Amino acid sequence: MPLSRITPQHYAALLEEKVAAVSALLAPHAPPTPQVYPSAPTAFRMRAEFRMWHDGDALDYVMFRPGEPQTPLPVEALPIACARIQELMPALRTRLRNEPVLRGRLFQVEFLSTLAGDTLLTLVYHRALARDWGAAAQALARELGVSIVGRSRGQKRVVGRDYVCEVLRVAGRDYRYRQYEQAFTQPNAALNIRMLEWAGGCAGARTGDLLELYCGNGNFTLPLARYFDRVIATEVSKASIRAARENLAANAIDNVQMIRLSAQEVAQALAGVRTFRRLAQLPHPLTHYALRTLFVDPPRAGLDPHSLTMAAGFDAIIYISCNPHTLSRDLATLRRTHRIARLALFDQFPYTDHMECGVFLMHR
């Protein structure tokens, strides 16, 4: 995103334009008037990454315009980053400039922070980490009050932890999450809370059990579990499954079963087309569960044809989408069996064309 697009004084007008564009895209599906959840215009982003540009004694955070990979644009400040990242940026750059062991062949810096200020820095190098890198990184971590991960090809060294601890207060309850370095997390924590509460509002009137696809680290799983008797949550990434199980244990949530299956495999299992040994981890056969509600938060590509076919059999569907275009495509199929009861627009990414959408569908 070009820094020139970050214009907090115009945020309300930019959001209005984006809402109008997404509403027009989804209009053929006859949704109700959307609930719109604006972002704070500044200090909302909990993640940031920069290339590091070396020029003599100078060392700068830089970004690049699309199509211009050889023209670095120095970044002195990033007003959309959370306060902790904004505070750390100049302090870290000054320290790196004066520490040859940490600076040499440094290619990229990644910041990951939380609402509580717990912060992790990842330093990515185009060289092997030197033997004395660890001592220098430990001194930097103490000085800045952060954890640090050093990465180069085939190497990963951790000073402190390779995750941050986040606490999100959702509908009056605190949920604790481990968010691992270089794993996906929602970048706008305040809007993430609004999404979790909206999804909970949709789930509140439901009964029976929940099937969740693409559960990631359990971001939605944890607060949704309170509304259902049992939850089967699926994810294909081993690292995400590990994080989700840790997060369930940290929050003493015991009615969720995590299974490492893709969305397509889940659809095949429910249809009886294939059997999977991993389903033996469940305390009961899949047919024993009263799976009446489906929750999906797919990647930008949307739902695959098998998942769309499977979804037709659910009483209710809660669909979180990061791509309104593939959402519109999927709604063209889902509306054959379901009606749209609620629509929400979450401005997770101000000053961009991206809009996070939430759709609640009920069987006709």
Under 8 Å between Cβ of 109 and 92: yes
* Burial of 280 (C-beta count, 10 Å sphere; 0-12/13-18/19+): exposed
CA 75, CA 188: separation in Å to the nearest integer? Answer: 20
**Is 322 known to be catalytic?**
yes
Could you say which of 82, 202, 215, 322 is catalytic? 322
3-state secondary structure of 137: helix
Under 8 Å between Cβ of 110 and 187: no
| 227 φ/ψ sector (left φ>0, alpha ψ -120 to 50, else beta) | alpha
Q: What angle do CA 285, 288, 294 make, to 5 degrees?
A: 100
Task: Map tokens 């995400």 to a residue.
Answer: 240
Under 8 Å between Cβ of 22 and 345: yes
Could you say which of 212, 235, 265, 356 is catalytic? 356
Q: DSSP of 88-128, one letter per residue?
A: HHHHHHHHHHT-HHHHTTEEEEEEE--TT---EEEEEESSP
Under 8 Å between Cβ of 329 and 321: no
CA 88, CA 106: separation in Å to the nearest integer? Answer: 17
Q: What angle do CA 158, 164, 165 make, to 5 degrees?
A: 140
**Is 165 known to be catalytic?**
no
**Residues designated catalytic:** 322, 356
